[in-house]
Structure 1
């Protein structure tokens, strides 16, 4: 019985061969699984542009886990130009999604999946979203998914006796930490990428991390009308025990 699930990305790039990536993600830890033969490059060393908020010690970790996982796609994607239009196909157990889009947007989606499941402590909060991965998601979709994920996490915190954060203060802190991580990963990528697609894909992700903290409250207000049925929830369900 398999103890992992797979998500595959297929890129068809003009003037390049088709590039395929198949990711195996552990069912329990939601970490990306490594091929035993994989040897990470030197740029993945933990102390190379180490994040200022990194909780990992170089005594225990030789490599940055996030960089190691990005290194797996680097050789195939570092030569891609960000504004190139490409065809991308994403296959999960539930569905297949195809789209013609810019290389940087497709890569941004792929890198978002890798970053969430990389084993980096700061990105581990996004594992539930990776479990139900939505490729090439728009900003509003991601805000909805991120806020829903965070509030569900608080429900589970409360269920085991921990204090919940219904005001989503912690979500803002998560994204602020991600800004630090993204800036240091960008510095690493500048050292090794021949073209700009991977770097610009990370910049797209970082633009979102910068947008979320100040816009959470406004976004919640804009979404309020979606939940009108729940405002009359008590009236509609008060007699369910009699049915």
Structure 2
């Protein structure tokens, strides 16, 4: 699978990201830079729950996947206006937006496929990537993804989580990842668009454990035909 992001500034400058993913595992499958900067080292702002050993793993897989983004867009301030064109296997989307929103959408695709085990839960959303998704769209997609996962676990009913407590835990783990990623990006760039791009993603992660039940109720009326179906 391939997805392309093209950023065009008002000055005419264009930055292109051709992202290729393995078809079976949906892992990032484009080459890393031959030399990685210090801010990508695993020992640099390591997540408290990181499963990797700094003695055997030199670089954070997530940070390493963001080097190209920082090199090309890290100089932009958050509200720099630009045009973003996204080509997915299904469609092409053009969006006039700000640097922080454009980068946030790009990171929402790269982060799940980076090789970090805490972000891998979002691979189904990356496969059906929706650029510039609203908070309602993101919540609906995340909740739907989680419930489909429960279907695939029906052979082990003791693991099935219909109350979606596991979704809150997934996002709580993402808060830790986002916090350390922000610290890395602060060291990597002088501008704020990349940092704020992660903060945009983190605001959703922070709210999920507290608003899950209320947000689910917001969608209940859409499912009344199912609820009221007489069998």
TM-score, length basis structure 1: 0.91
Question: What SS is found at the alignment partner of 1:234?
Answer: coil
Give the match for residue 241 of structure 1. none
Contact 2:19/2:30 (<8 A) preserved: no
> Superposition pairs for residues 41-190 of structure 1, below 5 Å?
41-159=37-155, 163-190=159-186
Per-residue CA deviation, residues 40-60 of structure 1 (Å, 9 max, x unaligned), is 222111011101111111233
Give the match for residue 198 of structure 2. 202
Question: What SS is found at the alignment partner of 2:117?
Answer: coil
How many Å separate the matches in 2 of 1:69 and 1:85?
Answer: 24
Question: What SS is found at the alignment partner of 2:79?
Answer: coil
3, 10, 13: which is aligned to 1:14? 10
CA RMSD in angstroms comes to: 1.4
> Superposition pairs for residues 207-226 of structure 1, below 5 Å?
207-226=203-222
Give the match for residue 233 of structure 1. 229
How many Å separate the matches in 2 of 1:162 and 1:135?
Answer: 35
Per-residue CA deviation, residues 21-40 of structure 1 (Å, 9 max, x unaligned), is 01001111111013266432
1:77 Cα offset (Å) = 0.7
What is the number of residues matched between the two proteins? Answer: 231
Note the residue ranges of structure 2 that are not aligned, 5 or more in a row. Answer: none
TM-score, length basis structure 2: 0.96
Contact 2:32/2:65 (<8 A) preserved: no
Note the residue ranges of structure 1 that are not aligned, 5 or more in a row. Answer: 236-243
How many Å separate the matches in 2 of 1:157 and 1:14?
Answer: 49
- Could you say which structure has the larger radius of gyration? 1
1:177/1:37 CA distance change after superposition, 3 Å: closer
Deviates more, 1:90-99 or 1:226-235: 226-235
1:161 Cα offset (Å) = 5.6
